[in-house]
Structure 1
Amino acid sequence: MSTLFSPISLGSLVLPNRIVIAPMCQYSASNGEASDWHEIHLGHLALSGAGLLIIEATAVEAEGRISPGDLGLWSDQTEQALARVLHAVRRYSPMPIAVQLAHAGRKASTRAPWEGGQSILAADGGWVPYAPSPVKFADHDELPHALDEAGLQRVRDRFADAARRADRLGIDAIEVHAAHGYLLHQFLSPLSNRREDAYGGSLENRMRFPLEIFDIVRASFAPGKPVGVRVSATDWVEGGWDPDQTVAFAQALRQRGCDFIDVSSGGLSMQQKISVGPGYQVPFAERVRKEGGMPTIAVGLITEPQQAEEIVASGKADMVALARGILYNPRWPWHAAAVLGGEVAAPPQYFRSSPHGVKRLFRGT
C-alpha cells in the first residue's frame, strides 16, 4: 500500500492522504476580501484529491498584507467574503481546508509579482510597514516602524481575532506563518531582529514573540482542531537563522501543543545563497521531524509521485506540500494515485475520466 495515500491524523483532524496543497498567494483580493477568483482557484484545487488544502497567506491586519491584493481576515467584511467562497467550495468537495494566518512585517506594501513586485512607498499609495527593528529588507524599501509594546499587543490581538474568525468559518486547521522573511521570521532571525528588550538578542528572546503568537492562536481556535507553524529552516546567510535554531524552535512549539510543522527556507535576506534542486529542502524537514518530534511537512521541488512516496515512506517527512507543481497540474494527486495504486476523492461527474486499465482510482466525495 502506498504510504503517500495512507491517512494521517493531526489533532482530531484525519487527512485521507499525505498530499498537501501549499498556501499560494494570489494577490487578487480587494481590501482583503476574497473575490470570484478565489472561488475558481480554491474550487478547482479542492477537486484535486489532495489530503489538505491550505488557503494562501491571509493577513491578520491591513498593514500586514504583502500587497494591496492580499487576502485578509481582520473584519466582518473579509470574513463574510471568505465565507461565500468556502460555501461554494464545500458544496462539491469534502477536502479539509486550513488557512495560513500571516503578517508581512517589513516585507509589506509591495506590488504583485506580475507588476514587478517592488515595494510601494507610502508617498506612492502604499503604507509604512512594521517590523521588530527599523531595518529594511531592500535598499529601496520604506524604513519600517519598530513595534513598541502597544504595537506588539495590537498584533497579538489581531492574530487572536483572525483565529476566532477562522473557527467561525469552519476552517479545519490553522498554519501560523513564521517563514519566508515575514514578521514572525523577522523576530526569529538575528539579521532582522536588533532589539535590546525581552524580544531580541538571545535565541530565547527572539523566539518569545512567535511563541506568544502560537499560544494566542492555539487558545483562540477550537480545541482539537490542529494548529501548526510554517518555518524557514535557514536564512541561507552566514550568521542568520539556521537549522540548529529551527530545531530549538520546533521543540518549544511541541511543548506548547503544536500539531505539525511545515519546513521551508529562505526569504529573509537579499543576501541569501540557495542551492536549488529536486527536494532540496527535504533534509531540513527530516531533521526537524527527528529532533522536533512532531508531524512534519516537506516542501520544495517535489514534483514526481515516486519522489513524494519515497519521502514519506522513508520517514523523511510525514506529508509533502505542492505549490507551483499543483498549479501547473491541478490533478497531480489523481496521476500520483494512478502510478502508486492509491485512491482519491473525486466528484462523480469526473468518474468517467479514469484512464483505461486503471481500477479503483476514484472514490465518491
Structure 2
Amino acid sequence: MPGEDALERARAGDGRAFRELTEPYRREIQMHCYRILGSVQDAEDLLQETLLAAWRGLGGFEGRSSLRSWLYRIATNRCLNALRDGARRSGERPAISPEVSLPEPTRRGDPSWLEPYPDALIEDLPDGSPGPEARYESRESVSLAFLAALQHLPPRQRAVLVLRDVLGFRAAEVAGMLEGSESSVASALYRARATLATRLPAADRDHAPLPDTARERKIVEDFSLAFESGDVDAILALLTDDVWLTMPPLPLEYQGLAATGHFLSTVALREGRRYRLVPTRANGQPAFGAYVLDPGTPIAHAHGLIVLTLSGERICALTRFLDNGLLPRFGLPRALRPLR
C-alpha cells in the first residue's frame, strides 16, 4: 500500500505527491509498454497516457491491490486498446536505392515494426526481481529475439505472457487486470507459450557472453574492423552457420552464410561502399550506429543501426534497422565529421 499521506495528498490534487507515488514505476511501466507494442515511441506515449489516466482515476483506487499492480492494469489495457484501434505509429517502409536489387530472401515474413530499445533506458530500471512465477530472466526478456517473437502473438496472449512469465504476476492478478477469468488467462498463456516455443532460439544455443566482458569486446571489435574495411570473408568468419540477417520493417529474412554473404557483397558493401561504425547498445546487446562514407565529401551520413545477437564466440543474428530517426534515441548524430 502506498504511503497514506502521499496518497491522500495526491487525491487532493497534489501533483508532487502523485509523482512521488508513481516515479518508482515509470521506467518499468515504459518497458512493459515496449514489450507489448515493440516501439520505443509508442511506449513513451502509452506511459504518459497511463499516468494521465492514473492521475484522473486516483480517487477510484481503493487499495485492494498494490499501486504497482494498478498501474500495470491501466498500462496493459491502454496498450491493448492501442493495438485494437490500430493507433500505433506504423511508420514508413525505409527507402531502398532504386539501383539496388535485393537478393531473393530465405523467407518472407510479415513487416515488423519492432524498434530497438536503448540500453540507457534499461539501466535506469529499478532493481528488483520478477515475481516467483516468472519464467524469463530480465536479460532474456529484453532481447531482440524475445521481443521479435512476442510480436507474433495476438495482443491479449502477448499481454498475458508478459504479465505472467516475464513479470511473474499470479493468474488471479492477471485475470483481474484483464477483467477475465483465470481459466481464460490459463488458456491464453498456454497458446502463447506454444507459439513462442517455435519462435525463440533453440534451448541448446550457446549463451551470449556477458556484457562488457573481454569475450564480448573481442567479437564486437573484430566485427567493427571487418565491416568498416568491407571484408565480407572476415565478417562471415565471425558468424554462426545458421546466422539470420533481418532488416525491420522489411519482411525479408536471410539465413546462413551463403545468403548473408551474398547480401553483404551485393547490397550493404557493394562496389567498395565503406562505413564508419559507432558503438552503442540496444536491448542488452552490442550495437552500432552505421554511417556511410561519402566519397565526394569528408562527411559520413547516417545509415541506421546494426544490432548483434551473440552465441558463444560468434554472431548468430544481424539486425539492421534502417530508420535514421532511431539514432538520436541512442545519443548518435545524423552525420559524422572526419576523424582528426
Same fold (TM over 0.5): no
Which has the larger Rg? 2
Whose helix fraction is larger, Structure 1's or Structure 2's? 2
